[in-house]
């Protein structure tokens, strides 16, 4: 009798272990998705929603987010590179800018390429002859200039329009008629750019007019230019309205 009870106890223990294992397996299945029911596979939103709806969604995104989706797949690239998306983003990028780069206005260029080239050109700090000649420049003396010159400058006296200077492709520079400071003398300019050999980095970069002090070049956030030294300063006059853009035709770094 005792032996029978012992066998019964062993059988009950084994059943408990088996039941415990089954319960453990069920719990694992529930964690994975439950009861062995197959979970639906994630589907590409582009396939689910279609091109037109995805275009509307992407139009609400910023340019960086749309650009990131270009590498998702060929289908996503086809949608995310659409001119319908990038044309308004180009207008948004150019809004409030002093100059629109000519390199972004080439005929037949996609709006995505126009946006990318505009961003790259907006970071350019190396001024070119096209930049000098395409813009009118406001000129004024700095605090370090002699008082006699500053007294002739409307910028300091507040009694007239700003003086303007103009650069020409033949290397000459002129002013408006009646400019009290200009004096009618002949003027020429050159652009000096020093490159570190083997590295391609700019060592020095300035514009020189006649034998006067070098004008060091700065690029502002609105893509306008400033050239200045301790005596005087040049600022490019905004001309975003110019058809075809301004500056070099090819991307310059």
**Are 209 and 189 within 8 A, CB to CB?**
yes
Residue where one domain finishes, among candidates 122, 150, 168: 122
Query: Has residue 12 been placed in a domain?
Result: no
Phi, psi dihedral angles at 9 (to 5 degrees): -65, -40
Instruction: Give the orientation angle of helix 51-58 with respect to helix 83-94, to 10 degrees.
Output: 10
- The two structure tokens encoding residue 107: 């005929």
Is the pTM higher than 0.75? The answer reads: yes
* Alpha-carbon span 110 to 36, nearest angstrom: 51
- CATH number (domain holding residue 100): 1.20.1280
Query: Has residue 19 been placed in a domain?
Result: no
Task: Let me know whether 224 and 189 are in one domain.
Answer: yes
Q: Provide the domain limits for residue 170.
A: 129-236
> In this predicted structure, which of 158-162, 214-218, 243-247 has the lowest mean pLDDT?
158-162
pLDDT reported for residue 23: 60
H helix runs in 105-223, sequence order = 111-122, 129-134, 147-152, 154-157
Task: Let me know whether 137 and 226 are in one domain.
Answer: yes
Q: How many domains does the chain have?
A: 2
**Are 115 and 89 within 8 A, CB to CB?**
yes
Distance from chain centroid for Cα 72: 22
Q: Report the mean per-residue pLDDT for the chain.
A: 85
> In this predicted structure, which of 29-38, 45-54, 65-74, 149-158 has the lowest mean pLDDT?
29-38
- The two structure tokens encoding residue 172: 């000459």
**Are 136 and 172 within 8 A, CB to CB?**
no
Query: Has residue 163 been placed in a domain?
Result: yes
**Widest distance between CA atoms in the chain:** 132
Task: Let me know whether 98 and 134 are in one domain.
Answer: no
Task: Let me know whether 199 and 136 are in one domain.
Answer: yes
pLDDT reported for residue 138: 97
The tens digit of pLDDT for each residue in 108-166 reads 999 999 999 999 999 999 999 999 999 999 999 999 999 999 999 999 988 889 999 99
Of the pLDDT bands very low, low, confident and very high (cuts 50, 70, 90), residue 61 is confident
* Alpha-carbon span 193 to 205, nearest angstrom: 4
Q: Closest by alpha carbon to 223, among 133, 107, 129, 95?
A: 95
The tens digit of pLDDT for each residue in 171-187 reads 999 999 888 888 767 79
Query: Has residue 223 been placed in a domain?
Result: yes
**Torsion 98-103-107-108 (CA) sign:** negative
Task: Let me know whether 89 and 172 are in one domain.
Answer: no
Task: Let me know whether 104 and 157 are in one domain.
Answer: no
Query: Has residue 247 been placed in a domain?
Result: no
């Amino acid at each position: 009798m005792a032996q029978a009870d012992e066998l019964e106890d062993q059988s009950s223990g084994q059943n408990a272990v088996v039941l415990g294992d089954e319960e453990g397996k069920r719990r694992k299945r529930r964690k994975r998705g439950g009861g062995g029911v197959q979970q639906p596979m994630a589907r590409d939103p582009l396939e689910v929603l279609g091109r037109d709806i995805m275009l509307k969604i992407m139009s609400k995104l910023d340019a960086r987010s749309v650009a990131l989706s270009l590498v998702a797949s060929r289908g996503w690239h086809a949608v995310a590179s659409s001119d319908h998306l990038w044309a308004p983003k180009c207008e948004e990028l150019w809004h409030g800018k002093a100059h629109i780069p000519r390199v972004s206005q080439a005929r037949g260029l996609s709006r995505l390429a126009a946006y990318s080239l505009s961003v790259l050109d907006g970071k350019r700090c190396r001024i070119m002859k096209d930049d000098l000649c395409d813009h009118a420049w406001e000129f004024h003396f700095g605090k370090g200039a002699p008082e006699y010159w500053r007294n002739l400058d409307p910028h300091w006296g507040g009694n007239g329009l700003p003086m303007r200077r103009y650069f020409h492709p033949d290397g000459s520079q002129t002013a408006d008629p009646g400019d009290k400071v200009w004096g009618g003398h002949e003027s020429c300019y050159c652009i000096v750019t020093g490159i570190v050999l083997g590295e391609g980095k700019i060592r020095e970069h300035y514009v020189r007019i006649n034998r006067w002090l070098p004008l060091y070049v700065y690029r502002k956030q609105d893509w306008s230019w400033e050239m200045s030294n301790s005596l005087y300063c040049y600022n490019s006059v905004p001309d975003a309205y110019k058809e075809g853009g301004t500056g070099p035709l090819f991307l310059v770094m």
